[in-house]
Amino acid sequence: MRDLKIPAQRHPEKAHRPDNAQPKKPDWIRVKAPGGAGYNETRRIMRENKLVTVCEEAGCPNVGECWSQGHATMMIMGDICTRGCTFCNIATGRPETLDVFEPGRVADSVAKLGLNHVVITSVDRDDLDDGGAEHFAQTIRAIRHRSPETTIEILTPDFLKSKPGALEIVVAARPDVFNHNLETVPGLYPTVRPGARYFHSLRLLQRVKEMDPHIFTKSGIMVGLGEERQQVVQVMDDMRAADIDFLTIGQYLQPTPKHHRVDRFVTPDEFASYEKAAFGKGFLMVSATPLTRSSYHAGDDFARLRAAREAKLANG
């Protein structure tokens, strides 16, 4: 049995990589250690329902704040990914068989937490013919049945190796927000996201909007991996050409010495500049701060996203 708490077993594909120094975090990156009654209650509900959260598996710095408010991003289809991206702390390997009861347990947790907005993500499942598309659809339907007023945001894999029609299965379940992260600029894909293809991911999001224009589309990138500002601006333009509504930009933080190195810590002023540029390009919603993550403040951001669309339609 693998022990996923041991880095060499969690990331066997990285075990022989040379160590990268982990620079000291600047003051604007530091967060409080998780704890408190709200945090513990969220943790209890996750454990009772045997659910995995990306908050824990990816080592998100915002876990304390989000869980204390009863917000957690649930990760379906297990905790082992078939990809080995160099930035990611999710364990890599051969996943277990899908749990057919998981969609019901997720829906039960959403109801117990009383969520107005929920984010569902997953590992990559290249071992499945549909990449897990039907499992996503079943989870969406189960939540709709138990909590019809809850808005649903999904953060999906790229379905790169899936059979034709996989994306259509997910879109037909009608999530409120379809998120798929580009993660970085195209020039860094060979070293940061070697199993993925930039233009495939971009086209995936464009197809979602073509199939159902009512679904909000969302994508995010990390900065501090070695990209240049002009490359980030070009990604913004590519996203807008694909009609993506919502952009998130956050600072890359290195999980272990075996992961991709932090090139630099981007300052809050630079993030503010990125946000201004992105709004200028026509995104309905932008979140660009050092601690921004795909699901950070997702519920509040969804309310603003919906209001921005209504205002745009009202103004012609």
b or e along 6-19 (b: 16 or more beta carbons within 10 Å of the residue's beta carbon)?
Answer: ebeebbeebeeeee
Sequence-ordered strand ranges (E) for 145-188: 151-155, 177-179
Contact 281, 57 (CB under 8 A): no
Cα–Cα distance for residue pair 49/72, rounded to 1 Å: 13
b or e along 198-234 (b: 16 or more beta carbons within 10 Å of the residue's beta carbon)?
Answer: beebbebbbbbbeeeeebbbbbbbbbbbbbeeebbee
Cα–Cα distance for residue pair 266/274, rounded to 1 Å: 11
Detail the residues annotated as belonging to a binding site for [4Fe-4S] cluster: 55, 60, 66, 81, 85, 88, 295
Detail the residues annotated as belonging to a binding site: 55, 60, 66, 81, 85, 88, 295
Contact 299, 116 (CB under 8 A): yes
